Structure 1
């Protein structure tokens, strides 16, 4: 039993070293700098061990993304407080989560490198990355939608897809519709627009005959966050 626990701890520690090395390389060189050789050297582990633990680069990136490095999933306790208690809280809940996610992307060079890689074409590594990121985003949307019966997935795809594109364009130092996405003023305008869009989506859901809002039964006084 003690030997088994030691092996598990050693594997966890090694996996942490490798994913930390991956994050450092992504920050410094982007996805194009990631290789088994570079990772082994940075993490001070053998290439054989990386292959044994993760299979290949695609497997390592999938593991990295699944650990919340790209999309952090809220805890049950947070969701219990975050879930709207009144229909008017639906739009702020959506915009808060969307803006929190993309503020994280804007602040994280590794996250931006992965996000940029998802739009590459004819690239098996980019396809694998995109699949992993989309899986994590789909889980997050499901967790914070707080609605059934309406096509919230399409609404979320528009919002997340648009913000992803804008984040990538900012990374490339390209304006969009005249907005300077490298400036805080430009992103402040984007964030204000996100809040307006979420208000419109929420109003549509609230008045839809097919939508069912999943509201929290807690007292409204507890909804402030």
Structure 2
């Protein structure tokens, strides 16, 4: 049976509150009663909609991945790829995705994550698009490039304490962020150039 508009609204409230809770406390530290309080929805509705906390976390991850795909789609041209590094940097500066990914990694480590096949399909799509942008016919090589570019663009947000220690207080000013972004984009372009020149 199709979900009613009111049910969809309730689900969205729960996911929004859960995203904030998981971002702050991780999967292990998040509490269902706090999610209920944040959302203004009865605690029992969380279990009715999602079953358990791990399933709720998986639903949050699906939601944030869908949002990133919409806001920062993987490019299929060289020009788009050159802009992509800065766009990923900008996205992570405004979103909770890297925090959620870090918590997910700490929780599951090498164990399978919920909805693993769907996540794999997401990355297959990205590496195929990246292969087109780079003009290469090797999805595994494209995946290595994607890891390098995304790692470069997201590292400062995954370990903000390291960024603070390395750059000092000026790193947290708008000019400091602009300089970091420019440096990351330039290094991203170097990676792309090496691939296009056949050096990687």
Q: 2:196 aligns with which of 206, 212, 216?
A: 206
Count of matched residue positions in the alignment of Structure 1 and Structure 2: 191
**2:145 aligns to what?**
155
**2:181 aligns to what?**
191
| 1:1-225 mapped onto 2 (5 Å cutoff) | 4-5=1-2, 7-25=3-21, 29-31=24-26, 34-68=30-64, 72-74=68-70, 83-84=76-77, 90=78, 92-108=79-95, 110-111=96-97, 113-118=99-104, 120=106, 123-124=107-108, 128=113, 138=123, 141-142=126-127, 144-145=129-130, 146-147=133-134, 148-150=136-138, 151-170=141-160, 174-176=164-166, 181-208=171-198
1:16 CA displacement: 0.5
Q: Residues 42-73 of structure 1, C-alpha deviation per residue, up to 9 Å, x if partnerless?
A: 32333333123223222222212212367511
Instruction: From the CA coordinates, give the structure whose radius of gyration is larger.
Output: 1
Unmatched 5+ stretches in structure 1: 85-89, 212-225
1:156 CA displacement: 1.7
Unmatched 5+ stretches in structure 2: none
1:21, 1:39 within 8 Å by CA — same for their partners in 2? yes
Task: Decide whether aligned partners of structure 1 residues 184 and 44 sit closer, same or farther in structure 2, where only a CA change above 3 A counts.
Answer: closer
Root mean square deviation of aligned Cα: 4.0
The structure with the largest helix share of the pair is 2
**1:216 aligns to what?**
none
Could you say which structure has the greater relative contact order, defined with CA pairs below 8 angstroms and 6 or more residues apart?
Answer: 1
Structure 2: distance between partners of 1:40 and 1:126: 30
